[in-house]
Amino acid sequence: MSKKDNIYASQLEQVGSFNFDQKVVEVFPDMIKRSVPGYTAIIDGIGQLAKKYVQPNTVIYDLGCSLGAATLSIREAVNDESCTIKALDNSSAMIERCRLIQSGYNFSMPVEVVEADINDVEFKNASFVVLNFTLQFLPREQRQTLLDKLYQGLNKGGVLVLSEKLTMGSTGLDANIIDIHHDFKKDNGYSDMEIAQKRAALENVLIPDTREQHYQRFENAGFSQYDTWFQHYNFASFIAVK
């Protein structure tokens, strides 16, 4: 059981930029479930999609793995010892805890938990790549380059699963969906102050794109098929097939 997230529960004199440090690691499972609509369904769905698309003797990448929830879902669903799953994150606090969690499970598929910036990774012989709420934290100008590299590293028939917070195309609609998301957080026990302070901390750190921007990047990279396989409010998950 993870500890309850109360990082923004008391009034802060100044709200600093959000980062994935030890404090966040301690509360992460609680934080992400209470903040991201559909998170558990997406994690389960990633396992199901992996069952369909992972090819034998290939590499699976979980990019920005945090504590490795998607990795664990794939390990449970696929467990093919001819594959390797590589879980990467550039937060040393996340990686340390992720290693501990993953080592607590015994599956025959080898798992490597690596501290790395996902921009520096060489992708090779991949059949299944997960970016579960990670791309949104990269500066916009790095996003296409990463997708291009991923596409090059994927085998034919391999897939990218990309989950992101979205901006809705029209301003009025966007404001209302954001309100509904804040109500979702309130229903999950966050106060108005916590929601406001977290929002300030994520300003310029989590930069959401529209669905069209994501689709355009898939096109530019060369993906032949892509679609939205999950959406709850402004949180969506896409699948793109090479």
Q: Based on CB atoms, which residue is closest to ligand GEK, 5 or 80? A: 5
Shortest Cβ 117–ligand GEK spacing (Å): 4
Shortest Cβ 37–ligand GEK spacing (Å): 12
Site for ligand GEK in 69-128 (CB under 6 A): 69-70, 88-91, 94, 117-119
Contact 78, 54 (CB under 8 A): yes
The one-letter amino acid code at 136 reads Q
Q: Which helix (H) or strand (E) covers residue 236, if one does?
A: strand 235-241
Please tell me whether residue 59 binds ligand GEK under the rule CB under 6 A: no
Kindly list the distances between the CA atom of residue 1 and the CA atoms of 4, 5, 40, 77, 101, in Å, as whole numbers in the listed order.
9, 12, 15, 22, 12
Shortest Cβ 49–ligand GEK spacing (Å): 13
How many CB atoms are located within 10 Å of the residue 210 CB? 15
Please tell me whether residue 54 binds ligand GEK under the rule CB under 6 A: no
Please tell me whether residue 166 binds ligand GEK under the rule CB under 6 A: no
Shortest Cβ 207–ligand GEK spacing (Å): 12
How many whole angstroms separate alpha carbon 113 and alpha carbon 100? 10
Interface segment toward ligand GEK; rule CB under 6 A; list 47-55, 130-138, 184-192, 193-201? 130-138
Beta carbons within 8 Å of 113's beta carbon, 6+ residues apart: 65, 68, 71, 87, 88, 95, 98, 99, 102
Please tell me whether residue 134 binds ligand GEK under the rule CB under 6 A: yes
Question: Closest CB to ligand GEK belongs to which residue?
Answer: 64
Shortest Cβ 172–ligand GEK spacing (Å): 26
For the chain, state the CA radius of gyration. 18
Q: Would you tell me which residues interact with ligand GEK (CB under 6 A)?
A: 20, 32, 64-66, 69-70, 88-91, 94, 117-119, 132-134, 137-138
